Structure 1
Amino acid sequence: MDNGVLEERLLASEAEEQPNLKRRIWVESKLIWRIAFPSILARVTSFGMVVVTQLFIGHVSALELASYALVQSVLVRFVNGILLGMSSATETLCGQAFGAKQYHMMGIYLQRSWIVDAVTATIMLPLFIFTTPIFRLLGEEEEIAIASEEISLWFIPVFYSYVFGFTIQMYLQAQLKNSIIGWLSAASFVLHILLSWIFVSILDLEVAGAMGAYNIATWLPIFGEFVFIFGGWCPNTWKGFTTAAFVDLWPIVKLSVSSGVMLW
């Protein structure tokens, strides 16, 4: 008799848990997509801008198209991988600070990451300035090596945007406020297509038009994120610029470098 009662209770308990399990799965799925979708949208639109720029440069000449593809696939991917990896340190530190409810530290970690990543980007700057000698050394054709330098100079503002774009994304994501990134990325992608069409197809600005549109569209969401952060939408985590950002930089450097090497 006791076994029968116990079995009935277990069956009743399982029946109660099934709806709860479905509800928990639904709640967790919504939470995951709330965090993941803006990041997915940002990555997709970022890659989309690369493709759109390549399409419009393809209308200029085959030489410019080859130069753009070479710079994008060799230099930009190299720098992108390193800075994206280093920015993952921001995600780790901000996540820990948010979990420990040390919200003020998140803004400090963000500023420290800006300093470390900006210095790293500056160290890699010669890759974009001396592109022609580098590609000559790698055995590329002379025409492509020369044309690549013009393209690579246009990429300098783009790769400096990675310093802020990647770190801010990690900072906002840690506090579940990264939906703004998705909206800004989508808007910048639409604007990029429009500007590319105007600059290249209508104004006939050729490479300058295509790369100028790319630079504008790349920096637009970052300026929007600055407004979001500095404008008071992160009151608990952003307390303004502080000299504390220049203190204890070495642990940030070590974590950033190890993360950059691991992901690169």
Structure 2
Amino acid sequence: MENSSNKLPLLTPEETPPQLLRRPSHHSFDSSFVADADDIAPITGVRDFYREFIIESRKLWYLAGPAIFTSICQYSLGAITQTFAGHVGTLQLAAFSVENSVIAGLSFGVMLGMGSALETLCGQAFGAGQIDMLGVYMQRSWVILNCTGVILMFVYIFAAQFLRLIGQTEDISREAGKLAIWMIPQLFAYAMNFPIAKFLQSQSKIMAMAWISAAALVVHTVFSWLFMLKLGWGLAGGAVVLNFSWWFIVLAQLVYIFSGTCGEAWSGFSWKAFQNLWGFVRLSLASAVMLCLETWYFMALVLFAGYLKNAEIAVDALSICTNIVGWAVMVAIGCNAAISVRVSNELGAAHPRTAKFSVVVVVLSSFVIGLVLSLILIIFRDQYPSLFTNSEEVKRVVYGLTPLLATCLVINNIQPALSGVAIGAGWQAVVAYVNIVCYYVFGIPIGLIMGYKLDMGVKGIWIGMLSGTVVQTLVLFWIVYRTNWNKEASIAEQRIRQWGGEPERAKGSEN
């Protein structure tokens, strides 16, 4: 498994290349792979591990810190609207929860998944020094995602009928369907935002996204309170503010990109965006399937709760728990984005050992973060339900779910980090198959049996579905452990060439 490149001398911190600014790799992987000279040396002891852990942690958190903040801010837009909806009424809370989890959750999963194809392509192209293709990739993704948005729009238009078809109550379906039509502008904001996010992340331009998201969150909070509660507009006011906030993020990021801050990565609109679209669609669909299977899995949790006795209370309690999980997962998604950038950049730059070590660092870090968050939740278990609802019955159900919620926080911090590794390396299709088996063949059937057959209610459904997440995480661990990272770096070089990431001068020199 070791090759001659493993004899490279150890790099001192002063010799470590600048953060993420890797020079282009000119290695040919057609015969035998040779790692770039800037790759870290093999870890041979505790001292080596500690030194490289510190160095890699700095690089990882340089990306993860702003990415976590951005993810929390953007997720909090919907979460804050949901919090205010809980103070409008229990029906309004249930309606927003179902629309946000089922209808918006469907489109969010599709758009984020299709956009994540750019994490692989942009990240590896940036690592290999092929900066000029990043803007083209983003424009191709805009074309594909906006066309997808037109198709998904019909789900919003017929949301009420769809929700009744899958068994939601008449009242919840009516209110959620009305809200879904109001939320169509958010759908197209997703189509623009996710390619922009992957474009900026691959270049480590995370701080701009963080500042824009923070500004949007402040404005969103103030106007949500004003429109939903003070002026009494209810869910209609929430929809107006939520749409505005997402489009504010999109337009502010576009101004940042068009202002010239991205250098060669954005050189203007190009007809190249319409070339090889079908091939790009296939890659985007593989990414979408992978992430949609994860997003819909948790969406199904709220959906199944709607079939229980006293469905309104069950949905409200579970939506509060999933809201908290969602906030915590935003931390994990920040790590997901960071490790995706690190792995894709390092593989593109022909640094397989650095990519492998990045995985070790992110998994350990995610585990510690999950433990801390679960401890905070347990400490404040008597207080946090009151933030979401005034109903004493809902509070009691949430309190009973707290131990399960704390366990979920630990698992759901590790799993997205491993998914980020898969995206950075381009394993989306393989992970999609893993998700199908672990989630839908294993997790959901167990959850339904425990929830309905064994009469364990919401807790039984959640325990069964959490077991599917545990199995999926273990399988991803095994895949990462068995990975030949030299081979992955070679595949990255081939992928860059396939998608046109090789500059014309390089092509000319080969002829």
| Structural RMSD (CA) | 1.9
Paired with 1:255 and 1:122, the residues of 2 have a C-alpha distance of 20
> Would you say 1:134 and 2:162 are equivalent positions?
yes
Give the superposition deviation at 1:156.
Answer: 1.3
Whether the aligned pair in 2 keeps the contact of 1:37 and 1:182 (CA below 8 Å) is no
Shift of 1:20: 7.9
2 CA distance for matches of 1:21 and 1:53? 45
Aligned equivalent of 2:96: 68
**The residue matched to 1:181 in structure 2 has which SS?**
helix
Equivalents in 2 of 1:96, 1:218: separation in Å? 28
* Aligned pair partner of 1:167 in 192, 195, 200: 195
The offset of 1:22, in angstroms, is: 5.3
Question: Which structure is higher in helix share?
Answer: 1
Deviations 1:79-106 (A, max 9, x none): 2112111111011111122123221110
Supply the distance in 2 between the matched residues of 1:118 and 1:39 (Cα, whole angstroms). Answer: 24
Q: Does 1:219 align with 2:247?
A: yes
User: What residue number does 1:240 align with?
Assistant: 268
What secondary structure, in the 3-state scheme, does the structure 2 residue paired with 1:191 have? Answer: helix
Aligned to 1:236, the other structure's residue is in SS state helix
Range 222-231 or range 54-63, more displaced: 54-63
Structure 2 contact 88–229 (Cα < 8 Å) conserved: no
How far residue 194 of structure 1 moved from its aligned partner, in angstroms, is 0.7
Q: Does 1:180 align with 2:213?
A: no
Q: Which residue does 2:137 correspond to in 1?
A: 109
Which of 95, 106, 117 pairs up with 1:89? 117
Match of 1:8 in 2: none
Q: When the two structures are superposed, what TM-score results if normalisation uses the length of structure 2? A: 0.46
Name the residue aligned to 1:150. Answer: 178
Distance 2:63 2:280 in 1: 25
Provide Cα deviations, 1:50-84, integer angstroms capped at 9, x if missing partner. 22101222333332222111111111112211211
- Distance apart, 1:24 and its partner CA: 4.4
Deviations 1:97-118 (A, max 9, x none): 2123221110000000111111
Residue matched to 2:61: 33
- Aligned residue runs from structure 1 range 42-61, under 5 A: 42-61=70-89
Following TM superposition, by how much is the alpha carbon of 1:42 offset from its aligned partner in structure 2, in angstroms? Answer: 2.0
- Could you report, residue by residue, the CA deviation over 1:22-43 in whole angstroms, capped at 9, with x for unpaired residues? 5543332221111112221222
Q: CA contact under 8 A between 2:118 and 2:137: conserved in structure 1? A: yes
Q: Is the 8 A contact 2:99 2:180 kept in 1?
A: yes
**1:173 partner amino acid:** Q
- Cα distance between partner residues in 2 of 1:20 and 1:147: 59
Task: Give the structure 2 partner of residue 12 of structure 1.
Answer: none
Runs of 5+ consecutive residues of structure 1 not aligned to the other structure: 1-16
- How far 1:254 moved relative to its partner? 0.7
Does residue 256 of the first structure (1) align with residue 284 of the second (2)? yes
Alpha-carbon contact 1:58-1:65 (below 8 Å) kept: yes
What is the aligned-residue identity percentage? 38
| Alpha-carbon distance in 2 for matches of 1:263, 1:141 | 28
So what's the TM-score if we normalise by structure 1? Answer: 0.87
CA distance in 1, matches of 2:175, 2:198: 35
**Secondary structure, counterpart of 1:124 in structure 2:** helix
Letter in 2 for 1:263: L
> SS of 1:80's equivalent?
helix
Q: Say which SS state the counterpart of residue 205 (structure 2) adopts.
A: coil
- 1:143-168: CA deviations, max 9, x gaps? 22222221101221222211122211
C-alpha distance in 1 between matches for 2:92 and 2:172: 8
CA distance in 2, matches of 1:214, 1:92: 30
Verify the 8 A CA contact 1:34 1:179 in the aligned structure 2: no
User: 1 CA distance for matches of 2:282 and 2:47?
Assistant: 47
Aligned to 2:11: none
Contact kept in structure 1, 2:66 and 2:210, CA below 8 Å: yes
Separation in 2, partners of 1:200, 1:82: 29
Q: Aligned pair 1:124/2:152, yes or no?
A: yes
What 5-or-longer segments of structure 2 have no aligned partner? 1-44, 293-511
Contact preservation (8 Å) 1:49, 1:192 = yes
Equivalent of 2:221 in 193, 215, 222: 193
